[in-house]
A and B are shown apart, each in its own frame.
Chain A
Amino acid sequence: MTRTLRLDDDVDAALEKMAGERGESVNSIAGRALRRLVEWDRLAENAGVVGISSVTLGRLMDSQTPEQAGALGELVGKEVWKPIIISKYGEVSLDSVLKSIELIARYMGRFDFIYSTEGSKKVVTIRHSGGIKWSRFYLGAATLLFSQVIGLSFNPTTTEELVSIEFDAPESATRDA
């Protein structure tokens, strides 16, 4: 659908310039920016999400033991991700958790999210480059959401670069992969 917007001249000129540099249309850049606004920016603002250098964040995480990193992940799962999921989807279900992880991966830029399913067997994989402490952090958050909130039993695999959880759930409980 079409929508006419009144844009400040400096914003309009910057959009034109960006479009020229990237070989894209102004419309596609604006569409992406506005989608980000409605899908993520407001939610992130309400949840107190802020920007920081990945290097500084890595240095801060260095001061944690793997066990502390896991406990922090659980805390963030409870105090940040769970409210985000409820705010966005109205409930914490397997489907809403999966959709939220996908959203977080897309806009927070810290990990890739892979979801695969074969019948009732599901595998959620978070791939990152932060090392074992970040794997423990993500496992902590996953434990809180998948196990403590949804009540699923899962088998985790943790390496330096990924955390993967495997569980059984009926087909009706999840969206299409």
Chain B
Amino acid sequence: MTTRLRILDDGAWLSVDDTRRVSVSELWRLDSTEFCDCDLADLVVENFQAVGVDGPTVEVRVYGQCITCGTKSTTGWIPVGRIVDGEFTDLERESVLSAHSEG
């Protein structure tokens, strides 16, 4: 079974199987020394740049800014959900997220 992943609305949404699932404007606490110097970036998601998968995990690269230090940049890959039995399940994005640079 394939899952259709795509970025829609000029980067405003991640669509999974033709349903909008993850949107810009969320605030993510991001553990990534590559994004900015903050211990924990407080990232406003402004634009989805790319979507990919790592096994069952759906990952995105986003453009955004840290509201603590003001850094604006594109992140590494950040997990936002998982495909389980063909269904997309949100990962808890209120908690700390980690980014990695391998695609």
Is this pair of chains taken from one and the same complex? no
Interface residues of A (CB under 8 A from B): none
